[in-house]
Amino acid sequence: MSNLTVAASATAFERMFALVRDNLSVLKTDNGSWGPFTWTYTVQFHLQGGTLQLNNDDTVEVKHLDVVWDQLKFQICFNLPGFCVGGWCIIPDPFDGCWVSLPKICIGGPICLPLDLSGLVSEVDDLKANLVAKYFTDPTRPPGVSDLTAEFLNKSNQWQVFLNPVFVDVLPIDVPATIANILENLFKQAIQNIFSWVPDWAWSLIWAVLGPLLDLLKTILGIAEDIQNWVEDLINKIFNLVAVIETAIAQYFASQNPLFQFEDPYPILDGAPSHNPIPVKIPFRNLAAHVNAREMVVTADIGA
Amino acid sequence: MAFTDNCDLYAAVDEAGLNLIARHLMRQRPSLFNYATAFIAQYPQLACEKVDASGDIATYSNPLFTVEDPLPLLGVDAPPVALNYCAQLTEALVDFFPGNVIALPAELNPPLPAQHFALKARLCAGLDCASDELGGIQPWPPDQHPIRTNDTGAAQKTPPIVPTGRKLDCFCLDGFVIGHATVRQMFGQPTLVGEVDVVDVIEIAPRGLKQAINCYLFDTFELLLREKLTFPVTHTFFFDFAFLKLPGITVQLAPNPPVPNNPAIEDNQLKIFIDFKVGP
């Protein structure tokens, strides 16, 4: 039997979990290319909600955990095929040539579409984890110093209890059905921005040549499917944001932010600067943390 | 049954763990358990028992002893003379109900009552009688009043002469305490405190002397526990769980009912049951 037993009810455990969950914020940027286009993204998310359940098999399960995308911005860049409008003769020279001709306007070349889907909410469908107690020794702690000296150097050893994910099941990110319209508008806006020197009279000619913009975009990017599915594939499979979420959550809970931690040896009486400057500290050994359907139970021995 | 069926947080420490904690406490805060005059504190080898202290005590210049005034010789004031002494608690052993570690003396009506702890302490004390040195102390002339005044006219006691024979006459006694634990609101937070119910020091006669010593030790333990050995519940037992420090969260003892004894001393453990409340 252990010297010390501490238990936290499911309600208390939920509070502990919420605090750790609310501290998570992941920011990531990446870039790459896929077929005819290159991409870059900047994403940032945090977690909220979720229903927590403690299980008798020593696991904690969190379902329907919201992934709130504080930033979900990406850009795809590709080559707009070049073409020209105008240049033909308006008043021909009766002898030869042309007295007045329409200027020839040529456009084409690299173009980028910046898409901002910040505010979207996706979901971790299921997060299952067990509790793991770890002993952390500060690698910068000078060798041979006492625990008390280490504390004064702010390099105490720590007992830490982590939620160690066994699996994280992240649902693919859904994008709104209006994404096709959004992309089409972005495409039009991007063309107008890049070729802002084009005179007004030429735009009707250009739009007429380009035809339906969404079809053109699909042709350029080689999109054979529905544009909404394509964007979802882009985010989930090419950017691999599902894996980004899974990895970030697993690392965060398993090694970056413990459910709770305390220094070892643990101070039970403060020092009194005037007469007893040092605190009284108790070493803990064999810390273990488990859950059952009703509570978390932490046990430890007192060191000699 | 789950530990937290009737509360939000539960903690228990068993008597073996508490005895290890007591040993750490005695080694890391020796001045709580060793009292002596300045001279003995300066020459700790003169004390009745060697003080077992952790290395950090010397490293960080913590005292081994709480320094007390020398013991005055009653009526001796021209000049006043006082003696060096020390008093030490050298061993302490705790037993939680049901009693199975400490054999209580008959005076304490064993067995240990429910919801109580027993403490066995070895107390050693010694006095430097310094009889050989007294001959060198010359009485003041009769016209020299022993009470002097300082510049403002206030009475000023002459510091006593403290002869040093450099040897204490020591004795040790076993003392037994029966007490219980309680949680009080101290300095704004629930705090665990030990309370003394009865004290008995064995091997002392006559009866009046024994009663007086028991009474002195009762008062000492009772107040010492309240002043120096109090343990904030959330820090001591719950590692300062971060969520308990969130704004709007308050911690309180789980009520009776459903928890009949809180803190409880049973199953050779000290147990504590806590609820937290959210909101104002």
Facing residue for B56 by CB, picked from A8, A148, A268:
A148
Residue B149 has pLDDT above 80, yes or no: no
Angle at which helix A213-221 crosses helix A179-194, to 10 degrees, equals: 90
Cβ(B130)–Cβ(B164) below 8 Å: yes
pLDDT of residue B153: 62
What is the structure's pLDDT at B150?
A: 65
Q: Within its chain, how far is the Cα of A196 from the centroid?
A: 35
Determine whether the interchain pair B24/A281 forms a contact, defined as Cβ–Cβ distance below 8 Å: yes
Q: Taking a C-beta distance cutoff of 8 angstroms, is the pair A64, A123 a contact? A: yes
Is position B123 within any domain? yes
Residue in B2, B59, B237 nearest the CB of A295:
B2
Residue A237 CB neighbour total at 10 angstroms:
13
Question: Does residue B55 belong to the interface with chain A, where contact is any CB pair within 8 Å?
Answer: yes
Nearest-CA distance A184 → chain B (Å): 48
What is the Cα–Cα distance from A78 to A190, expressed in whole angstroms?
A: 12
Give the single-character DSSP code of B161. B
pLDDT at B220: 95
Quick one: pLDDT band at residue B74, thresholds 50, 70, 90?
Answer: very high
Q: Which domain holds residue A298?
A: 4-302
Cis status, amide bond into B258, omega within 30 of 0:
yes
- Whether B16 sits inside 8 A of A278 (CB atoms) is no
**B272 part of a folded domain:** no
**What single letter denotes the amino acid at residue B205?**
A
The answer to whether A4 contacts B236, with C-beta atoms less than 8 Å apart, is no
Answer yes or no: do B57 and A278 touch at CB < 8 A. yes
Say yes or no for a CB contact (<8 Å) between B14 and A268: no
Say yes or no to pLDDT of B156 above 80: no
Distance CA B6, CA A291 (A): 17
State the Cα–Cα distance between residues A275 and A272, nearest whole angstrom: 6
Residue B163 pLDDT grade (very low, low, confident, very high; cuts 50, 70, 90): very high
Closest CA to A161 of A288, A252, A300: A288
- Percent of all residues in chain A with a pLDDT value above 90, rounded to a whole number: 75
For residue A77, CA distances in Å to A110, A112, A303 come to 7, 4, 62
Considering only residues 265 to 284 of chain A, which have any Cβ-Cβ distance to chain B shorter than 8 Å? 266, 268-269, 275-283
Q: Is B59 helix (H, G, I), strand (E, B) or coil?
A: helix
State which residue of chain A sits closest to B7, comparing Cα positions: A9
Q: A1, A2, A6: which to substitute to probe chain B, counting the most B Cβ within 10 Å?
A: A6
In one-letter notation, the amino acid at residue B102 is I
pLDDT the model gives residue A273: 81
CA distance A16 to chain B (A): 6
Interface test with B, best of A2, A9, A291, A292 (most B CBs within 10 A): A9
* Average of per-residue pLDDT values in chain A: 93
Half-sphere exposure of B93 (CA within 13 A, CB side): 11
Task: Say whether residue B28 is in contact with chain A using an 8 A CB cutoff.
Answer: yes
pLDDT of the residue at B155: 62
Element (H, E) at A291: strand A284-291
β-strand pairing of B66-67 with B34-36:
parallel
The whole-number pLDDT of residue A200 equals 87
The answer to whether the Cβ–Cβ distance between B29 and A295 falls below 8 Å is: no
Q: Is the pLDDT of residue B145 over 70?
A: no
Quote the CA–CA distance of A141 and A146 in Å, as a whole number: 10
Question: At B175, which helix (H) or strand (E)?
Answer: strand B169-186
Task: Please provide the average confidence, as pLDDT, over all residues in chain B.
Answer: 93
Higher pLDDT, B265 or B152: B265
Tell me the C-alpha distance between A258 and B130, whole Å.
62
State CA B1 to chain mean position distance. 37
Domain that holds residue B112: 14-232
pTM, full prediction:
0.89
Q: Inter-chain contact B11–A7, Cβ cutoff 8 Å?
A: yes
**Could you give the residue ranges of the DSSP H alpha helices within chain B?**
15-28, 38-42, 55-59, 207-228, 233-238
Number of folded domains that form chain B: 1
In DSSP notation, B181-231 reads: EEEEEETTEEEEEEEEEEEEESS--SHHHHHHHHHHHHHHHHHHHHHH--E
| Residue B157 forms part of a structural domain | yes
Q: How far apart are CA A235 and CA A242, in angstroms?
A: 8
Nearest CA distance, B125 vs chain A (angstrom) = 23
B229-261 tens-digit pLDDT: 999 999 999 988 999 999 999 999 999 999 999
Q: What local confidence, expressed as pLDDT, does residue A210 receive?
A: 87
pLDDT, one tens digit per residue, over B91-141 is: 999 999 999 999 999 999 999 999 999 999 999 999 999 888 888 999 988
Q: Convert B170-202 to b/e letters by CB count within 10 Å (16 or more is b).
A: beeeebbbbbbbebeeeeeebbbbbebeebbbe
Residues of B in contact with A5 (CB under 8 A): 3, 10-12
Residue of chain A nearest B251, judged by CA positions: A12
ipTM value:
0.91
In this prediction, residue B148 carries a pLDDT of: 61
User: Which chain B residues contact residue A275 at CB under 8 A?
Assistant: 31, 63
Question: Most B CBs within 10 Å: which of A2, A19, A23, A268, as the mutation test of the B interface?
Answer: A268
Number of domains observed in the structure of chain A:
1
- pLDDT < 70 stretches in chain A: none
Any residues with CB less than 8 A from the CB of B165 and at least 6 apart, and which?
A: B128, B129, B130, B131, B132, B133
- B49 within domain boundaries: yes
Q: Half-sphere exposure of B164 toward its Cβ, with a 13 Å CA cutoff?
A: 9
Q: What pLDDT sits at residue A92?
A: 84
SS3 B18: helix
